[in-house]
């Protein structure tokens, strides 16, 4: 059965630190840091930067694919 948007949002955060993004996307931190150069971060209330996970996954997909977690569809669209 397909999950609702609310279920998907609680399972995967919208914006994360680079270390969290590397863990969630199953990539090295250095790969994620390179991808983060292309993405504008959000600033958390405590002053720490948070990067949109979906945009990081798209940049990584353009640079070689995020196939490990099955996030890259045959059409090339990343679905988080």
Give pLDDT tens digits for 45-69: 999 999 999 999 989 887 665 444 4
Enclosing H/E stretch for 43: strand 42-43
CA atoms of 56 and 31, how far apart (whole Å): 10
pLDDT value of residue 8: 61
Q: Are 61 and 74 within 8 A, CB to CB?
A: no
Mean pLDDT taken over the chain: 77
pLDDT value of residue 71: 46
List own/partner pairs for 30-34 with CB under 8 A and 24 or more apart. Answer: 31/60, 31/63, 32/56, 32/60, 34/63
% of the chain exceeding 90 in pLDDT: 38
Domain ranges of the chain: 13-80
- Confidence band, pLDDT 50/70/90 cuts, at residue 74: very low
């Amino acid at each position: 059965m397909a999950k609702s948007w609310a279920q998907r949002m609680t399972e995967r955060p919208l914006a994360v630190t680079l270390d969290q993004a590397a863990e969630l996307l199953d990539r090295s931190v250095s790969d994620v840091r390179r991808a983060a150069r292309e993405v504008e971060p959000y600033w958390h209330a405590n002053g720490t930067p948070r990067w949109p996970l979906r945009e990081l996954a798209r940049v990584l997909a353009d640079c070689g694919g995020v196939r490990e977690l099955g996030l890259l569809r045959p059409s090339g669209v990343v679905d988080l």
